[in-house]
Chain A
Amino acid sequence: MRQAEVIKGCLKNDRKSQYELYRMCYERFMVVCERYQTDKMEAESALNSAFLKILSNLDKYSHQFPFDAWCRRIIINTNIDIYRNKKRSDFIVSTPDYSRISDHSNVENYDHHEFEAEDLMAMIRKLPDGQSKVFNLFAIDGYGHKEISNMLDMSEGTSKWYLHEARKNLKDLIEKSRLKKNNPAYGK
């Protein structure tokens, strides 16, 4: 079924079209939810919430934008909403000025074929909540620090600090992973 037909069917509350749309969302965006949530169950729960939002707002979708991008934005926002509700009280209340921290301090080259996607996902999940959310939003989903600071209710400096820390931690995790691959006895 073509995407336009699926959308049209969903607008008429056609169950088959809704199923098709859900299937499409699942295959394309489950990976996004998995990046933001701590396990598959929570990711699925987030995806379902996001899907219901997509479904109930389908009439507001403007065809001049790519449908995938529209869905992706809703899915990311839903994940951030869930995170913000859960962890609102855990955020740093007073933050030092991290605004001078550079975003581009790392110059080492990495080959993405060196690691499996599952390994990379596991590394992101090992990061503290704030760091993983900022890293996901900035490095993978392409949001700027200003947008991130609005979404996560923090200052731009704090967002930069989280990104800096996330990169540092990920670098360590990559090194450890490399050592483990080269020397299976590592860490035992």
Chain B
Amino acid sequence: MENNIDKLFREGLSRKGTPFNENAWDRLVLPEQERSRRIGLWWWFGIAAIMFGLIVLANYMIQESHIIDDPVKKEFATISDEQDKSNYDSPESNINSESSTISREDENLISNVIPGSELNTTAVINEEQEEDPPIVIDINKIKVNKKPIHSDLTLDDSAISAENELPEDETIIKKESIVDPRALVLISPLNNPDLYLGSYDRIWDNRLSDEYRIEPLKGINKWVIGGLAEASHIGSLGGGISLSWKGSSRIFFRSAILYKYQSEDDRLIAVERISSYGFGRSISERQFRSQHLHMISIPLNVGLSQGSWDGYGGVRMDYLSGVRGTVSVDSESSVTSVNSWMKEYGYNRFSLDAEIGLMKNVSRNLGLGLRLGYQFLSRYNVDYFNNSNLQLNNKRDINISLQLQYDLIR
């Protein structure tokens, strides 16, 4: 005899139909889509690797370009080989006249060799003249350092130096602008809004990220405008414009607007469950999180340079929008393996951080820095799919990041 409760529920529920929900179909990522998404991820890795390669190549090429052209090398080599000793004692003694002429090519060389106009000349360059005019240099104002001059004259800071006797603001050989490529490697913890969404997420987010960045800089007087492209091995790609100003005193100002996109599969937190049940059957399930982020940052910093130290402080505004989901892989379950991507929630965040930082130039190109950020204003809006919105306010945390900066030219 059949139980009446069973019958009640079986027949009662058989009447229930569920109208189709188009959104459910949109959320379903079919295996072939999942595959193409993963292939897309490899593209990100590829782009990051190419950018890193470009940085290394650019670094190599710039070092190569520092070798001085042959005619000049010969000219200086004669002096350095035969008369260097007397030069040390009295640099003016081996020059017959008080004035000499050098070609424009040489003048360019000197300006390149000694940035910051260390060579003081009274040269006036007439741009309208078709032929290269002789340039008059006051030899008395050249002081040669009593250090050995290398015969091959590869550019070395210690080889030649001169004291600047003119006021700081007076530029001897003026150029309207300079272009200076710069490459940076930054290592810092990944700033992620999900840090506050639970302990599970906290584990997921506490790890280092790295960024490889190229900044072509264009300087106009004291203003420097930079283009910026960056990539990270975790799959982020971004770009933007930076603006900085350096005053005659040691004060500087920096700002930028940056956009970054990140597509990330987080295999580090992959949860693997293996269990056995009845008749030797077993199930293995792996899950890992995945997310897509769009981020816009606007930092505003004022700083002070002292020797090889740069200190700065300011604020940073961030807007972030993203969607997050789970990819699960089952195997040996009751049927077979499956890959699926399920959206869990979408979110956006606006935040305002106070930040201070200190950077030490440990060598000509290498800088080592520490940045402290404190989020004093934030607003999250988390939309769990098919659930109500959740708003989280003013979650505060201190962000500490170590920055390793490598400049191609400094």
Interface residues of A (CB under 8 A from B): 13, 18-19, 22-23, 26-27, 30-31, 34-35, 40-41, 44-45, 47-49, 51-53, 55-57, 74, 77-78, 80-81, 84-85, 88, 103-104, 106-112, 115-118, 120-121, 124, 135, 138-140, 149-151, 153, 167, 170-171, 174
Asked whether A85 and B21 contact (CB < 8 A) given A31-B13, A120-B12, A124-B9, the answer is: no
Annotate B1-24 by CB proximity to A: 1 below 8 A, 0 otherwise.
111111111111101111111001
In the complex, chain B residues whose CB is within 8 Å of the CB of A135: 9
B285→A51 contact, CB < 8 A: no
Min CB–CB distance A103 → chain B (angstroms): 7
Annotate B333-363 by CB proximity to A: 1 below 8 A, 0 otherwise.
1111111101000000000000000000000
Alpha-carbon gap, A103 to B4, bound state (A) = 11
Alpha-carbon gap, A49 to B326, bound state (A) = 12
In the complex, chain A residues whose CB is within 8 Å of the CB of B340: 48-49, 52
Min CB–CB distance A170 → chain B (angstroms): 5
* Interface presence of B283 (CB below 8 A): yes
Asked whether A18 and B30 contact (CB < 8 A) given A108-B4, A153-B278, the answer is: yes
Interface residues in B, total, Cβ within 8 A: 49
In the complex, chain A residues whose CB is within 8 Å of the CB of B334: 74, 77-78, 80-81
In the complex, chain B residues whose CB is within 8 Å of the CB of A84: 275, 277, 283
A106→B4 contact, CB < 8 A: yes
Asked whether A48 and B27 contact (CB < 8 A) given A53-B335, A57-B336, A106-B3, the answer is: yes
* Interface presence of B376 (CB below 8 A): no
Min CB–CB distance B68 → chain A (angstroms): 64
In the complex, chain B residues whose CB is within 8 Å of the CB of A35: 13
B335→A74 contact, CB < 8 A: yes
Query: B277: which of A106, A121, A150 is its contact (CB, 8 Å)?
Result: A150
B30→A52 contact, CB < 8 A: yes
| Nearest A residue (CB) for B8 | A110
A139→B25 contact, CB < 8 A: no
A26→B24 contact, CB < 8 A: yes
